[in-house]
Amino acid sequence: MNRIQKMILTTTFSLVVIPWTSICFAQKTETFSWPNGNTMAVSLTWDDGRESQVTVGTPILDEYEIKATFYVVPSSVEKALKGWKSAVSNGHEIGNHSLVHPCSGNFVWSRDKALEEYTVSQMQTELAKANEKLRELLGVTPSEFAYPCGQTFVGRGAKTMSYVPIISEQFSSGRTWRDETANDPTYCDLAQITGVEMDGKDIKSIKVLIEKAREDNLWLVLAGHDIGSRNSQTTELKMLKKLLPYLTDPANKIWVAPVGEISAYIKTRRGL
């Protein structure tokens, strides 16, 4: 290969490779300003309204003055009403997690309330009933929602529909489940904010999630179920006791707040 041929080959390779490299390693250019000089935000959330959340979880959260978001089903709240009333009085946020927790009928326990058999209208009615029932029980009207099983559809086949639009209309935010990334406050759809699982994870794994979110000033919404129990869906008590002082250490520059508070801040900043 002569000198001219080498120059042509080098030039051609550069023209192809440089744009590809720029695309694959492009960095987020828009930054987001969190309150008080913080570099990221974290919300702690738990689903279903399980009893361990108010018998084990809220006393520990209260010790560190951290307010969490609990997405509850009314029937579960009734089983530990005293504890839930105390959680509300201590400033924890109550979110709507549907009236009867419908999920895909592929979960055998949900076959009699399968999303495949639901309509958007039915879901809309049940969400309103759940809010009404929670208002009767706890004196609060939830403004935040979490999709049961993280599933956002109703119906089946060609008649499948998303019920995200009604969540957008009826609530300030909607949270999904078992996602892989935190939320970009400059871009995220507040009707579909991501929830990253914290059940079964140790503090090292959680800190990895936090540091990844910090790199781009993101909002990490951690999601769990039971707290300190022996069920498969359980936020480990050992992990939580290490996480809470880490989150409240000013040196870590993390804004910790309920979903509703952070989503409201994002809306204001984005002019939504």
pLDDT given at position 28? 54
pLDDT given at position 127? 98
pLDDT given at position 47? 98
17 lies in a domain?
no
Total structural domains within the chain: 1
Domain, as residue range, for 118: 34-270
pLDDT given at position 125? 98
pLDDT tens-digit readout, 78-95: 999 999 999 999 999 999
Collect the ranges in the chain with pLDDT lower than 70: 1-30
What's 119-183 look like in SS3? CHHHHHHHHHHHHHHHHHHHCCCCCEEECHHHCCEECCHHHCEECHHHHHHHCCEEECCCCCCCE
Separation between Cα atoms, residue 177 and residue 223, nearest integer Å: 7
Separation between Cα atoms, residue 220 and residue 106, nearest integer Å: 29
Six-digit token string for 235: 């936020």
Sign of CA dihedral 255, 257, 261, 264: positive
Give yes or no for a contact between 136 and 146, defined as CB atoms under 8 angstroms apart: no
Residue 55: count of CB within 10 angstroms of its CB: 14
88 lies in a domain?
yes
6 lies in a domain?
no
Give yes or no for a contact between 46 and 225, defined as CB atoms under 8 angstroms apart: yes
165 lies in a domain?
yes
139 lies in a domain?
yes
pLDDT given at position 6? 47
**Which residues pair with residue 255 across a beta bridge?**
41
pLDDT given at position 230? 87
Separation between Cα atoms, residue 104 and residue 87, nearest integer Å: 31
Separation between Cα atoms, residue 237 and residue 229, nearest integer Å: 8
DSSP state of 99: S
Six-digit token string for 216: 């781009």
CATH number for the domain harbouring residue 183: 3.20.20.370
Cα 112 off chain centre by: 27
20 lies in a domain?
no
Separation between Cα atoms, residue 232 and residue 144, nearest integer Å: 26
pLDDT given at position 31? 84
